[in-house]
Structure 1
Amino acid sequence: MDPAEIWRSLPVITRGYVSLCVVTTAACALEIITPFNIYFNAKLIWQKHEFWRLFTNFFYFGTLGERLDFFFHMFFLVKYSKSLEEGSFRNRSADFLWMLLFGSAILVAAAPWVNIQFLGSSLTFMMVYVWGRRHQYVNLSFLGIFTFTAPYLPWVLLAFSVMLGSSPVVDLLGMVAGHAYYFLEDVYPRMTGRRLLKTPAVVRALFPAEGIQAPRMAAMPAAAAGGGGFAAGAAAAAGGEGDGRPHAD
């Protein structure tokens, strides 16, 4: 399958986000803009009114010169964003976009305290965390050495990154955002019967054909056999593409 076919096969939110990432990275490679124009800087945002930095910092994943790192991040982003959007968020693009906006807000609020300039990796890690929580019984394998269930995937990736000498802050930040969404969307409604993270009407208005659908609460799926190792050092093994959650009719 060529890149154009892959791009056309992506669901709308995933396709839009990936496109923005590729265009932004290409623009930096061609020196149309530089990473200094788009990185997160709270002082420039609030004192110089460079509000675009609130968004553009999520679209840059490194230079094309670092091809392996860039394509690894794109693979991870496409895999888990697509799996969520076609799984537990099927026909609910507005809710998926709201999840990303909610996570982005948490990451932006935390960024000044942890000195992170580009938050795209943390947002991707948030998606991995939510995916893992919603695929509780999918089995994964790490380099064929040991197996584990999907909720442990973020922790395995975090440990592997630390072993390679990377800072854990970026991944931990994504896990915090992911757990906040998971708790408020999947756990809290079951505990109280109330749903706090209702998608705003202004976001739903972007997808008028969808209407309003009931949220898909986490179910108790049958154990799913998965497999496959991690490619490119830690690339994900996503045992099953199903989300183990009942879909609204």
Structure 2
Amino acid sequence: MLQQIITDIPPLTRIMCFLSIILTLLTYIDLVNSYNLYFNFKLITQNYQHLSFYYCKFFYYKLIQNQIKSYRFSRRLEEYSFRGNTIDYFYFVSFASIFGLYNLSDSFLNMILYLWSRKNSNIMVHIFGIIPIQAPYITWFFVFLQIIFQDTIITDLIGILVGHIYYYLTEIYPKLPLSKDVNILQTPQYLYLKLKKKKKKFLKIYLISTRICNLLHLRINQNQELIEEEIQGDENNQDGFFAFGF
């Protein structure tokens, strides 16, 4: 059951969500120093720590709220709006990093939320399961909440702006006559080729992990069957009494 739920999550969304949880736990129990995870442009350009684009800002005070929003809307965006094309979605996340939007930051999440709402403008969303809102207005609803709670809205507006830039360049501009059907932000071909070369390595890792899970699952089932047989035998020997101390 749990394995099926995990495998149903699109790849990039799964990686972002699980890394955030794992890194948070590791810093909480002091196995990892949080100063090693903060965003430092010099470390990226000079020491080639490119992954800082994706794991920084995990330790935000609204981590749980942001984690839920990231899981729900990032999954829907990758799975449906990008039609499960993980490479295109990866390129979209990389595009966000150019503007200084990093995983689980308010700006990053609002960018995802805005793009999803524009691509699914006809969907009705129920906030907190109660308030019905048309999808295009959901980002502005959260901005309104920030104003009510006297929190800054600059980061939210930056995320909305970057999301609109991406939406305009990929959905609106290519349809204009002056664009000549050219998509400026089309995923580069070299990125497809580079990631496809590494696909075999990921498949090997996936197969190994799947076999381990299957072996563990088989072992658990065998132990469960043995326990059930022992309990059944004890019940038969006890002439109707329970087998636990009676």
- 1:216-231 to structure 2, matched below 5 A, reads none
Alignment gaps of 5+ in structure 2: 200-246
Asked if residue 139 in structure 1 is aligned to residue 124 in structure 2, the reply is yes
The question of 1:76 aligning with 2:73 is answered: no
The one-letter code matched in structure 1 to 2:185 is L
Question: In proportion to residue count, which structure has more helix?
Answer: 2
Does the 8 A contact of 1:93 with 1:207 survive in 2? no
CA–CA distance in 2 between the matches of 1:53 and 1:26?
Answer: 22
TM-score, with structure 2 as normaliser: 0.68
Taking a change above 3 Å as real, the CA distance of residues 53 and 163 of structure 1, as seen in their structure-2 partners, is farther
How much does 1:34 deviate? 2.6
- In angstroms, what is the RMSD of aligned CA positions? 2.8
> Matches of 1:159 and 1:132 in 2, distance apart?
16
Provide the TM-score with structure 1 as the length reference: 0.67
Equivalent in the alignment of 2:38 = 39
Instruction: Return 5+ residue gaps in structure 1 as ranges.
Output: 109-117, 211-249
1:6, distance to aligned residue in structure 2 (A): 3.1
1:186 maps to 171
Contact 1:184 1:195 in 2 (8 A): yes
Specify the code of the residue in structure 2 equivalent to 1:31.
D
The size of the alignment, in residue pairs, is 194
Q: Which is higher, the Rg of structure 1 or of structure 2?
A: 2
Amino acid at match of 1:62: F
Q: Is the 8 A contact 1:125 1:175 kept in 2?
A: yes
The percentage of aligned residue pairs carrying the same residue is 27
Distance 1:70 1:168, change over 3 A: same
Which one scores higher on RCO, CA 8 angstroms, separation ≥ 6? Answer: 1
Once the two structures are superposed, residues 148-183 of structure 1 have per-residue CA deviations (whole angstroms, 9 ceiling, x without a partner) of 321111111111122223211221221122111101
Q: Secondary structure at the match of 1:21?
A: helix
Q: Specify the alignment match of 1:112 in structure 2.
A: none
Secondary structure of the residue that 1:179 maps to in structure 2? helix
Q: Who is 1:156 aligned against?
A: 141
Residues 101-116 of structure 1: matches in 2 within 5 Å? Answer: 101-107=94-100
Task: Judge which range, 119-128 or 91-100, deviates more.
Answer: 119-128
Paired position in structure 2 for 1:96: 89
Residues 1:120 and 2:104 are matched in the alignment: yes
Counterpart-to-counterpart distance in 2, 1:97 and 1:105: 13
Cα offset for 1:54?
Answer: 6.4
| Greater alpha carbon shift after TM alignment, 51-60 vs 22-31 | 51-60
CA distance in 1, matches of 2:128, 2:15: 32
Aligned letter for 2:155?
Answer: V
**Deviations 1:173-219 (Å, cap 9, x if unpaired)?**
21122111101111110112221011112321214799xxxxxxxxx
* Contact map agreement 2:44 2:52 (CA 8 A) in 1: no
